[in-house]
Amino acid sequence: MLKVFNNLTRKKETFKTIEPGKVKFYSCGPTTYDFLHIGNARALVVGDLFHRVLKSLNYEVTFVRNYTDVDDKIIERAKELKRDPIDHAALFVKECEIDMNSLGMMPATFTPKVSETIPEIIEMIEEIIKNEKAYVQDGEVFFHVPAFADYGKLSKKDLESLQHGIRVEVDQRKKNSADFVLWKPAKAGEPSWDSPWGRGRPGWHIECSAMAKKFLGPTLDLHHGGVDLMFPHHENEIAQSEAANKCPFCHQWAHNEFLNFGSEKMSKSLGNVVKIRDFVTKYTGHVLRHILLSVHYRARLEWSDEIIKKAIDEVQKIHEFVIELSLLNTSGSASQPWIDEALVKIKDELSQDFNSAGAMGQFFAFMKQFKSLKEISPAAKDQALALVDFVKKATGLINEKPQELLSELKKLEQVTEGLEVDEAWILSKIEERKLAKAAKDWARADSLRTELSSKKIAIKDNPDGSTDWKVIL
């Protein structure tokens, strides 16, 4: 039974859907004005984890993750580069897709863009005005916050405290200082569309309300995003959607915590970013995914060199085990009931609010116990392969091509710690040792192992006669 911590109620609840066995799931996607950083990657990978776990628990999932391709940041960056804002955004949609693929993410069911949803946005704003929750001032449309009685139910903020907290000069066109923009009048050089209020473009928050309704209907089962989006973005989504549709917008809200760089949240505005592309080029996307899912999504993730080293080591151990398992020779006929029990434990962890860290802890315990078996029957091997396949599909933490991944990891700069590693020399020593073993010259074989070890190279003989190597951390 899946349980999810619902930020609407601030408690863990049994996951219930509008239609049994079907999930309507929305996750806020990236604003496409620049390359994504690893803080952005956390939200993306967590959304992908939810998608994978739900499917692995046999839900039929309709998953929508948007691209914000009309936004102030995009317009500003396009002006700097003397580009059309829509063209600039389209370029970075493609760059985002490259990064997502490198992180092993499953495709969402729908990936709408703001620029492709303008008719639905206009229609929703018209409904909000008709229902007397918004007003027009000089071609600009504002949502009137005091007209929506439930405003603040997600963030637990009340209107009075919001008004006291506003330090900037209040826009005199607003009826209330907390009111927010649904539609902006056109400015020269900015993308704009015709509307009943004049030519213009949408405000930020309305886009997700319109895209969610277009693909999932007026009420969602699950909505996800970073904790920084809870207010005002998600609070405003609720207000807009419920004002337009006159029904609940979403039953369950899940937010991932920040990725911290030192004592501060990682963000472009602070300038303390590590781009996904740069990290993946150096360490592989699989290592980044492993780091991001190594702690529970609601826990803050503290970025450090140590966490990178730990992830590399764990990724190597997992994939060495997967290769060994696939090559394993079997004997005997006994099954191993504890392997099925280990799979149940992994599923139980993932069913407790998508606990990827707990699930992988159970997976490492399984690996340790399996390695201790003296005899492994064909049935036990099949049990283990089924467990590995489930973890692969449910978490994305086991690569489809383990040998290729291990080969990449051997070449990492971080793993070598500045050593000049000559791969050709290492392979020649491994081949020389293989010949010594074939000639039963055990002293020479041991001497070659020692020589490699002195250069911080560890070797491991496989059941099929091949030898793997890695640099010792």
Domain ranges of the chain: 3-122+203-265, 312-402, 417-471
pLDDT confidence band for 16 (50 / 70 / 90): very high
pLDDT digits (tens, 9 = 90+) for 27-76: 999 999 999 999 999 999 999 999 999 999 999 999 999 999 999 999 99
CB proximity list for 113: less than 8 A, separation 6 or greater: 66, 67, 69, 89, 93
| HSE (side-chain half, CA atoms, 13 Å) at 441 | 11
Phi/psi for 26 (5° steps) reads -125, 135
Q: Which of 462, 299, 318, 329 has its CA nearest to residue 388?
A: 318
pLDDT digits (tens, 9 = 90+) for 197-208: 999 999 989 999
For 208, the token pair is 């997700």
Q: CB 204: neighbour CB atoms within 10 A?
A: 20
pLDDT digits (tens, 9 = 90+) for 279-338: 999 999 999 999 999 999 999 999 988 999 999 999 999 999 999 999 999 998 888 999
Burial of residue 53, with CB atoms counted within 10 A of its CB: 0-12 exposed, 13-18 middle, 19 or more buried: buried
For residues 266 and 264, give the distance between their C-alpha atoms in angstroms, rounded to a whole number: 6
Q: Are 24 and 50 in contact (CB under 8 A)?
A: no
Residue-level pLDDT at 418: 46
pLDDT digits (tens, 9 = 90+) for 333-387: 888 999 999 999 999 999 999 999 999 999 999 999 999 998 999 999 999 999 9
Q: Is 382 helix (H, G, I), strand (E, B) or coil?
A: helix
Q: Are 256 and 298 in contact (CB under 8 A)?
A: yes
Q: Length of the chain in residues, anyone?
A: 473
Residue 414 confidence (pLDDT) above 60: no
For 134, the token pair is 């918004």
Residue 410 confidence (pLDDT) above 90: no
Residue-level pLDDT at 425: 84
- pTM here? 0.86
Q: Helix 118-130 crosses helix 206-216 at what angle (to 10 degrees)?
A: 100
The alpha-carbon radius of gyration of the chain (Å, integer) is 27
Domain 3-122+203-265 has CATH 3.40.50.620: yes
Q: Are 131 and 147 in contact (CB under 8 A)?
A: no
pLDDT confidence band for 466 (50 / 70 / 90): confident
Q: CB 438: neighbour CB atoms within 10 A?
A: 10
Q: Is 187 helix (H, G, I), strand (E, B) or coil?
A: coil
pLDDT confidence band for 266 (50 / 70 / 90): low
For residues 184 and 175, give the distance between their C-alpha atoms in angstroms, rounded to a whole number: 16
pLDDT confidence band for 421 (50 / 70 / 90): low
